[in-house]
Amino acid sequence: MGRRGPGVILPNSFLLVLLTGSGVARGGQEVQEPLSASVQEDRESGVPVHGVASVRHRLRATSDDSDQDLYEYLSADIGDATRHFVTAHFFLRATEDLDGETDEEGFFTFDSITDTFERDLNGRVYYAYLDVHRFGPLETGRVGRQMIEETPVPFSFDGVRVESKEFASLLGLQAGLYGGVPVHLFESSSEGDGIGGAYLQSRVWRGARARIDYTRIVDDYLLGTERSDLLGIGLRQRCGDAFAIQGQYDILESDSHSVHLAGTYSEPESDLQVQLSYFQLFETQRSLAIDVDSFFVAAQEYFPYRQVRLLVAKGLGTHSMIQAGADLRELEDEDDEGRLNREFRRVFLTPALADWPWPGVSAGVTFELWDVPGSDNGDIRTVGFDVAWKASERLKLGAGSSFALFKFDLQAGEEREKVRTTFAKAVYLLTKDLRVDVYGAVEDDDFEEFWTLKTGVTQGF
């Protein structure tokens, strides 16, 4: 599935400070900066156009190979949904191989799918759609290239989506329909492909929201036509201000596919947050429509497993906090272990400081213990760190080091083990809306070192 397991994010004021190097949160809530005069004026009159344009250069190298690429991004939102009947949104990307076609025969470390085209320059449209707001019983109608993320698996498609208003007299019932042609950005033809679905969601009782999704996908792919039917049933429940739970149960082709459970406890007064999650894949996942499982070509069969994750974060006064957690991943049958589907146990502890010993300086140290039963990768103890410094209102610097027992290399199409990544970065604001940034990293495993240098310019408007 697109969602292999529990991906839990633990929001915390100290974590935000650590990442940004500045005090951007109070009482566990992110502080929203006041709108500039121009943005406020756009909201009150006229048609606002806001977005981001960026150009990024990436250099990658090993002891034997190197590669240079240029990336250009443009995204924009046109109109104000609170005032305008129609708004527009798009996100475009262009890439260029600055080295041109490589002279390498056979395997090349930095081969990528964009190197298979006849030209060094190619572009992609990630989304481009129009929204119609508050049209009769409809809250929103959307047409164009879009992504729907509320479904059990996010889908990208060219088509139409409509969502009704909430009907307060019917427990807040809301319905939606969508359909079109799935977007496979690097597929030469979409002939024979199709997607359609519907969903219902309701505030079934106080503090609860239930949702049921059904999606049908037809994919004319390499091995023939795949048809996948996905049914998802989800429930979210808030218990007062501090506690929330959610559950998701998915059925694929009339068989139980997966279950995902999560609970969060948050107490701002004591600066304490706890998250516990559980994910289980019930059936061996084989070839499906690529929209349901984009990993089959690389991973082949994906065998059942279960994973538990615990995260705890506690603030300790004004300038310090501590975070701890554990991950336990087990296969239903340990003999099924393979690439991208590993058993492991991991526990970690991260003490951190914010705005100490000087204002604008934040740092954390992570102690980890990894263990993989029945392998040579047992009892690995590692230490990582992350330091951020807001040197001025315009300049932010950062550096750090982290360890991954297993890491999938997208360029080489292979899984690497025991990878240590060390990085440094800098961001400089030339103006309020224009910034330049530099990021450098070294990835070191038992066989090779990979060097990466990224530089970019980003303009907001």
Calpha distance 325→313 (Å, rounded)? 9
Question: Residue 69, SS3?
Answer: strand
Q: Would you say residue 239 has pLDDT above 60?
A: yes
Q: Does 140 or 100 have the greater pLDDT score? A: 140
pLDDT of residue 29: 34
pLDDT of residue 30: 34
Please state the rounded mean pLDDT for residues 398-420: 79
Q: pLDDT tens across 63-80, in order? A: 888 888 899 999 999 999
Find the range with the poorest average confidence among 102-106, 189-193, 200-204. 102-106
pLDDT of residue 417: 80
Q: What confidence category does residue 102 fall into, taking pLDDT thresholds of 50, 70 and 90?
A: low
Q: Which two tokens stand for residue 407?
A: 């890491």
Q: What confidence category does residue 114 fall into, taking pLDDT thresholds of 50, 70 and 90?
A: low
Instruction: Please state the φ and ψ torsions of residue 376, each to the nearest 5 degrees.
Output: -80, 0
Mean pLDDT, rounded, of the chain: 83
Q: Which two tokens stand for residue 243?
A: 């506690």
* Listed residue (433, 426, 429) closest to 455, CA to CA: 426
The answer to whether 189 and 181 have CB atoms below 8 angstroms apart is no
Q: What confidence category does residue 5 fall into, taking pLDDT thresholds of 50, 70 and 90?
A: very low
Q: How many CA atoms lie within 13 A of 97 on its CB side?
A: 18
Q: Highest-confidence range of 283-292, 381-390, 413-422, by mean pLDDT?
A: 381-390
Calpha distance 329→371 (Å, rounded)? 11
Q: Would you say residue 88 has pLDDT above 50?
A: yes
Q: What confidence category does residue 200 fall into, taking pLDDT thresholds of 50, 70 and 90?
A: very high
Calpha distance 57→292 (Å, rounded)? 32
Please state the rounded mean pLDDT for residues 395-402: 96
The answer to whether 451 and 148 have CB atoms below 8 angstroms apart is no
Could you identify the residue written with the tokens 């740092």?
363
Q: What's the 3-state SS for 192-220?
A: CCEEEEEEEEECCCCCEEEEEEEEEEEEE
Q: How far is CA 455 from the centre of its chain?
A: 22
Q: Would you say residue 418 has pLDDT above 90?
A: no
* Listed residue (327, 371, 323, 369) closest to 349, CA to CA: 323
Q: Does 409 or 195 have the greater pLDDT score? A: 195
Q: Would you say residue 211 has pLDDT above 60?
A: yes
Tell me the C-alpha to C-alpha distance, in Å, between residue 304 and each of 31, 338, 370, 373: 42, 12, 21, 17
pLDDT of residue 64: 80
Calpha distance 175→230 (Å, rounded)? 17
pLDDT of residue 223: 65
Question: Residue 37, SS3?
Answer: helix
Find the range with the poorest average confidence among 97-111, 135-149, 176-190, 418-432. 97-111
pLDDT of residue 294: 59
C-beta atoms surrounding 452 within 10 Å: 15
The answer to whether 14 and 352 have CB atoms below 8 angstroms apart is yes
Calpha distance 73→400 (Å, rounded)? 27
pLDDT of residue 412: 54
Q: pLDDT tens across 299-346, in order? A: 567 788 999 999 999 999 889 999 999 999 999 887 777 666 778 899
pLDDT of residue 439: 97
Give the H/E segment covering residue 15.
Answer: helix 13-20
Q: Does 429 or 447 have the greater pLDDT score? A: 429
Tell me the C-alpha to C-alpha distance, in Å, between residue 438 and each of 59, 386, 425: 12, 17, 5
275 CB-contact burial (10 Å; exposed 0-12 / middle 13-18 / buried 19+): buried
Q: Which two tokens stand for residue 347?
A: 């526990």
Please state the rounded mean pLDDT for residues 175-190: 85
Find the range with the poorest average confidence among 107-111, 133-137, 351-355. 107-111
